[in-house]
A and B are shown apart, each in its own frame.
Chain A
Amino acid sequence: NAGVTQTPKFRILKIGQSMTLQCTQDMNHNYMYWYRQDPGMGLKLIYYSVGAGITDKGEVPNGYNVSRSTTEDFPLRLELAAPSQTSVYFCASSYYLSPDTQYFGPGTRLTVL
């Protein structure tokens, strides 16, 4: 099993550009999550999904969109990039809901200039 994979590893965007961060898991997990990690801070939940076709907002959803068309994939979309979105983004998945272990991908480091 590859676990949770994320692409790209690094990306630099200009203000106003758009991009999609990809996340795929091969563990047949129902639940998937997107977090952002700012320097010196803990992770904050952006969006989560409890299954294909079902998503919901987390703590900091503004400026992002998600979709979940398959069990395996959970892409995160930035429509109009802003400097405040400079961060490291982590995707995670779990088989059950709380308090099941969440498995994290290696992260995408995004810089918006």
Chain B
Amino acid sequence: AQSVTQLGSHVSVSEGALVLLRCNYSSSVPPYLFWYVQYPNQGLQLLLKYTTGATLVKGINGFEAEFKKSETSFHLTKPSAHMSDAAEYFCAVQTGANNLFFGTGTRLTVIP
């Protein structure tokens, strides 16, 4: 069975500081991994995804994530937080043909 654990339901960073959102997964087969962002009162939007190949994945808005198989992790980072990054972030894993398993989300607050 697959599952996703996001450490920290709330993360606060100062504007300009490093953003680090943690995601660990469990999967019996090589996974596909995703990060989605949800702005208030909106649907989810894909930030980035890992399928195969290069383990460092770059996404939109300056975010990137690194797939570390030995640590079963897929942490999301951004070097410098911007006020517009305030949102909820969801990590998801997909191993079967059609089912995305989502973590419980991390709400990012950016302090001016």
Give Cα A72 to B12, complex, Å: 40
Total of A-B residue pairs, C-beta within 8 Å: 61
Q: Give the size of the chain B interface in residues (CB under 8 angstroms).
A: 26
Instruction: Decide yes or no: A42 and B49 within 8 Å by CB, A98-B32, A105-B43 being known contacts.
Output: no
Identify the closest chain B residue to A44 (Cβ): B102
Q: What is the CA–CA distance of A99 and B48 in the complex, to the nearest angstrom?
A: 12
Residue in A closest to B45 when the chains form the complex, CB atoms: A104
The answer, among A4, A42, A45, A97, for a CB contact under 8 Å with B97, is A97
24 contacts between A and B (CB under 8 A): A4-B43, A31-B98, A40-B9, A41-B104, A42-B4, A42-B90, A42-B92, A42-B102, A42-B105, A43-B44, A43-B102, A44-B102, A45-B100, A48-B99, A98-B32, A99-B32, A99-B49, A99-B51, A99-B94, A101-B46, A102-B44, A105-B43, A106-B43, A107-B41
